[in-house]
């Protein structure tokens, strides 16, 4: 669908902002993706355009974060960190204190709100906010490189306008901050596919975490075993995510497209290629709902940039041969690792890995189907139904 209207949000002001040099989180990824899109001629051609978002205000941030927490964040950015800030998670290797922490967060959150407003106003069909995806930030706590939660604010804006929102998080890390924000609500369906909390921070996001009160059955977690490969991941999408989305019938979707799921990421243990980016987005786009795409993790910068560029190309509806996606490796793509263009090469999955992953993931899928499908009028497989009944 080349008539799909795409917007790429990018404020030039963020180019002067950065996390500490030794931090694995690199804010430059969004700008590098933008440069890649411009080099291909995929930005600013009528159907896809660049927009400078607004910066979030304190009033915007206070829609989720407490006044006390925001005050402490601002003081920390100015170089003042006391015991209260330490208790709120600041000052660890994963939440370093640095000058730009608050200002960068306000741009990411402002972009998330700009995206939500554009979708509500029907000014775009798909909006990319690659500055954002800070899904670990709680109302009063920082964690995992996240200080201010742009995706919670965006989902709140959309739900507050009366829209049924589906939030899908495919970052390798569980979206615990988003889960906490909507755990007792049913106007935002939260689904997180992530590496198991048995092997990766934040050590949670298990299948029995399904929401409370009105939100029971509207918080969904699928734990992916270490070594999860493309076919296994897409099987989880087809068997759990798509049935839930079709049953819930969201009016707008928010996707956290963290690419720390890709093989070779230095902080995680999954085994995906960016082929899943294409397959996932094609499935979501077929639902024909407005879509906000947020960034997230991805600690191998070139892999992340290439994957996000591929996501944008997929949303544009480019055919495989368009704009030379094949054979453009090397110098043009800034990569010496693979000369096949944006798409990753196919990875061989050893039989032992396949068997181990399949067995563990099958058990997890049956568990989550048993726990949540009935809340959406879906029939779980017989094994999952039995498991659900046994679990109460």
Which residue numbers are catalytic? 136
Grouping H, G, I as helix, E, B as strand and the rest as coil, residue 255 is strand
Measured in degrees and rounded to the nearest 5, phi and psi for residue 118 equal -65, -40
Instruction: Please enumerate, as own/partner, the contacts of 23-27 that have beta carbons within 8 Å and a separation of 24 or more.
Output: 23/96, 23/145, 24/145, 24/266, 24/267, 24/299, 25/145, 25/299, 26/299, 26/301, 27/104, 27/131
Run of H or E residues at 219: strand 219-224
Run of H or E residues at 120: helix 101-120
Alpha carbons 138 and 185: distance in angstroms, whole number: 16
Run of H or E residues at 76: helix 67-77
Q: How many residues in the chain? A: 392
Q: Are 179 and 219 in contact (CB under 8 A)?
A: yes
Alpha carbons 236 and 234: distance in angstroms, whole number: 5
DSSP string covering 269-337: ---B-THHHHHHHHHHHTT---EEEE-----SHHHHHHHHHHHHHHHHT--TTGGG-SS--BTTTTBSS
Cα atoms found within 13 Å of the Cα of residue 268, Cβ hemisphere only: 31
């Amino acid at each position: 669908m080349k008539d799909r209207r795409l917007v790429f949000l990018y404020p030039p002001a963020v180019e002067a902002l950065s996390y500490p040099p030794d931090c694995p989180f690199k804010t430059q990824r969004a700008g590098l993706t933008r440069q890649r899109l411009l080099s291909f001629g995929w930005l600013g051609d009528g159907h896809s355009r660049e927009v400078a978002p607004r910066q979030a205000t304190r009033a915007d941030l206070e829609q989720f974060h407490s006044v006390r927490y925001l005050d402490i964040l601002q003081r920390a950015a100015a170089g003042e960190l006391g015991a209260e800030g330490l208790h709120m998670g600041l000052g660890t290797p994963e939440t370093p204190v640095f000058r730009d922490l608050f200002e960068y967060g306000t741009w990411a959150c402002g972009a998330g709100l700009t995206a939500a407003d554009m979708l509500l106003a029907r000014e775009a069909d798909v909006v990319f906010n690659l500055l954002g995806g800070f899904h670990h930030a709680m109302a009063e706590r920082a964690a995992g490189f996240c200080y201010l939660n742009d995706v919670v604010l965006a989902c709140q804006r959309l739900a507050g306008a009366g829209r049924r929102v589906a939030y899908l998080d495919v970052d390798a890390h569980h979206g615990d901050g988003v889960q906490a924000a909507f755990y007792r609500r049913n106007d935002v369906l939260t689904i997180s596919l992530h590496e198991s909390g048995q092997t990766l921070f934040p050590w949670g996001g298990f299948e029995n975490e399904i929401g409370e009160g009105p939100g029971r059955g509207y918080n969904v977690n699928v734990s992916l075993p270490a070594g999860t490969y493309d076919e296994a991941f897409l099987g989880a999408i087809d068997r759990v995510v798509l049935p839930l989305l079709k049953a819930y019938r969201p009016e707008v979707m928010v996707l956290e497209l963290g690419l720390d799921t890709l093989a070779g990421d230095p902080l995680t243990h999954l085994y995906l290629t960016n082929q899943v980016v294409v397959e996932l987005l094609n499935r979501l786009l077929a639902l024909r709902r407005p879509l906000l795409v947020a960034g997230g993790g991805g600690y191998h910068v070139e892999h992340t940039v290439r994957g996000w560029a591929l996501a944008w190309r997929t949303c544009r509806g480019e055919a495989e041969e368009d704009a030379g996606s094949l054979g453009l490796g090397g110098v043009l793509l800034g990569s010496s690792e693979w000369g096949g263009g944006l798409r990753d090469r196919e990875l061989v999955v050893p039989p032992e890995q396949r068997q181990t992953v399949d067995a563990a993931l099958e058990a997890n899928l049956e568990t989550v189907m048993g726990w949540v499908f009935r809340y959406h009028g879906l029939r779980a497989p017989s094994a999952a139904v039995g498991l659900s009944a046994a679990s109460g």
